[in-house]
Structure formats: C-alpha cells, structure tokens
Amino acid sequence: MRANLIAGREVSDGVPHPVHNPHHDTLIDEVPTATPAHLEAALAGARAAWSHTRRLPTHARVGVLRRSARLLEQRAEELARQLSQEAGKPIDFARGEVARAVETFTFAASELECLREEVIPLDASPRVHNRWGAVRRFSSGPVSAITPFNFPLNLVAHKVAPAVMAGSPIVIKPAPATPLSALSLGAILLEAGWPAEALSVLHLDVADAAPLVEDDRMAVLSFTGSDAVGWALKARARRKRVLLELGGDAAVVVMDPLSQERVDRLAFGAFAYAGQVCISVQRVLVRQELAESLTQALVEAAGRVRVGPPEQEGVVMSSLIDDRAVAKVQRFIQSGRRLCGGHRQGRLFDPMVFTDVPADSPLGCEEIFGPAVVVQPIRDLDHAIAEVNRSRYGLQAGLFTDSLRDAQTFFERAEVGAVLLNDIPTWRVDHMPYGGVKDSGFGREGLRYVYDEYTERRLLVLPGGAPA
C-alpha cells in the first residue's frame, strides 16, 4: 500500500482505498484514506513551513525545479506506465504527459530566472519630488490544490511548480481514481530538495476535505474539475484567492474545405483518450454547403481510430475512467442522430459522430467528457459565432479558414479563452495562458500566470535624494 505524504512524512494510517485499472478493472494498488487529523497536520505543516519557504532565495527555488525536471525525465517510462494503468490513458499519451511534466518544471525554472521587478517613477505626478517606487512579489501563503483524474501527473505539476516558484507550501488532494501519479511526483519534489513540511499529498474523502477550501491558513485555492463543483468551492473559499480550470464543449468552426489530414486531426481531437479532455472537440460547426462531405469524411476517420487496452502501443482510445462516466455518456447519447459508433464493451465505447442534436439536449449544451462529436451546419461566420457563444462554456475554440478577416472577427467576438487558427482546440503547451470564460473557469494557468496568482505585489517607496 502506498503511503500518503503529510507534511513530507509518509503516513500509512487509514482505511485502504483501492486504485483500479479502469480498462481491465484490476487492482493496481491501495492508498490509505486520510483522516481529519491527518489533514490538520498537513495544513499546520504548510503554515509553519511558509515562514521558511517564503524566504528561499531564487537560486534555491530554481534548483528544486530543475532537479525535479531531471528526476522526472530519468523515471519517465516508469511514471508513464503507472499513469497509464491508473488513468486508463493510452501509453503513447501517457509518455507525452510525462514529457509535458518535464517541460512544466523546466519552463518554471526559466520563467523564475527571467522575472523582473518593477520600478515606478512616482515623480510622474507634479505633486511628487524625488521619490520612486520598487514593486516586488511575495508569496501570498500556502496553496490548496484539488486535481482531476484525466492528467494525474501534469495537472498536479501545474499547481506544484508555480508554488515552488513563489515559495508557497502546497497541500494536494488528487482525484480518488488517480492518486499514485501525484504521490510519485510528491516524492520527486522532496528528493529534489523542496522542504518536507511544505508538501502534502493525501487521499481524502470529500466529506473531510472542507478545510482545504475554508481554512484561513491556506491563502490560495487552485481547483481543476467540473464547473458545478468549482463554482460551489469558490463560494465557500471566503478570502482566498481562487483559480478554477473547469469544463468545456469545445467547438471547431469549418469555413473552408478540409484536407484528409485535417479531418483526421478533427477525429483525433474528438476521440483521443476517449474524449476525457476538457478541450476535446465536441462540436463541429461547418458551413452548410460543406457539411455533407465533411460529415462523411469524419465518420470514416472515426472508423480508423485505434481502440483498445491502454498499455498497447498505438492505441488512441481506451476505456472511460469508471462506471459513473459510462452512465453519463449513455444518458447523453440518447438525443440526436448517431451516424456511427456507440457499441460498448465494458467501459469502452466505439467513437460516435452525431447530427441533428437539439440545442437544449445534454449533448447539445453540456460537456460530455466522452467519445462523441456533434456536426452542425452553419450559414456563415456570424451564425458560427452565435453558436459558439450560445454555450455556457468558453474554454478554447478552433477555426479553419483561409480568410484573415474571418480570423480577426472570430478572435474578437468569440467568447472563449483561446482561438486556434487552422487547428483543433485540443492543443496546449504548458507556458501559455490557459483558461476560459463563463462557466469554463476563473483565472489562467501557465506558469508565469499562476505565479502571479500565487503571489501579491508590495510597494516600497524610496526617497531619491534631497528635495528639489
């Protein structure tokens, strides 16, 4: 049984919680369920450690980040196989996630080395003579982090690496289905030299997790998960700074004919990792004169998607994470006309393409988080923008067009956090500002942007010499 990390110590007390491979439904390992007393020790340790971590010099924090990146790289295959087993992620994508985690820590170190403080000429005001201001950023305090199952290593890294940058202790509650990758990353952080009391990773029952959100000793809450849970947590977080990375029903707008390569790219965006990605392609809004040919091409591309067990090389799509996810997908796919797919074996569905989906049906207005994509004809760009903006989500969108004017118009009017031109929205690099509007979230991820959220500005006003 794997132990929880509580203020840097391995603690094995607690009722065992099983961790299963979602495809084979086999037991991988167990972790203990932390008690309220364990959580109290984690929070107290984080608050006590802050007096030390907030004063760590830049070179020490950079060193922890770079050593963490090296350790991740050295153990890449081991971590990828563990991640693939617990999350059911195809092994090729699991290796890609580990590579991204290496980049996350590497970028964090580089960003920290390049940060520059501000100097403000206060004498720009005619009321001021011979004064200037120096602005520095200081850690806001300990961070509570709650992470989802679908990127159980790199989404934890996106919360931990900025905490190291800022000098902030962190307490992490990973998803119940996927705690092993987070515990492995925690062990790597400690080996890299992060102070022990400044790190906790523990499996908690939801009923016992309230202090992560409500306790005033924690200064920041960073949550990635469903929009319903995220907004409810924000309402309870009181004075904390809150970052929310939530869901989406990502749209792709197609204004011009697509090559076979780009149709295959659409299918990849819809079905990779069984659509369990918040920027998975869920809606294809295609100009109506292109709709029939694109729909047929997408159905054919869906049939070429390689489906199978996650450990098998070359597999693109494997099982959903659990039975609750299966039940949700089954409920969603009752609406609309299904053109292909839908056969289910255990937690594994074939890729599904839909048309004629009512706008008010679950598949038409909610995040499915499964292997289904909806094709909808649109009249023109204005119609496409209206359909994108009709959604209560606004994370990322793709636009295929050869028109620069259309690209500019879409970027200015589409209510999303990012527009990807001539590509699918299922794309991200780890130092870009990533996040959404409306129900898709609050704040931005990306290392420097999270560092800004984890820190606060302070101003030092200095005299510049004798008064004029």
Q: Which residues are catalytic?
A: 245, 278
Collapsed DSSP state (helix, strand, coil) of residue 11: strand
Residue 192: which residues within 8 A CB-CB, separation 6 or more? 63, 64, 65, 67, 68, 71
What is the longest distance spanned by two Cα atoms in the chain?
82
Residue 159: which residues within 8 A CB-CB, separation 6 or more? 143, 145, 147, 170, 172, 222, 224, 450
Q: Which two tokens stand for residue 403?
A: 């028109």
CA distance 448 to 108: 8
Residue closest to 146 by CA, chosen among 65, 243, 6: 243
CA angle 347, 427, 445 (to 5 degrees): 100
CA distance 408 to 406: 5
Residue 58: which residues within 8 A CB-CB, separation 6 or more? 112, 113
Residue 295: which residues within 8 A CB-CB, separation 6 or more? 286, 339, 353, 355, 375
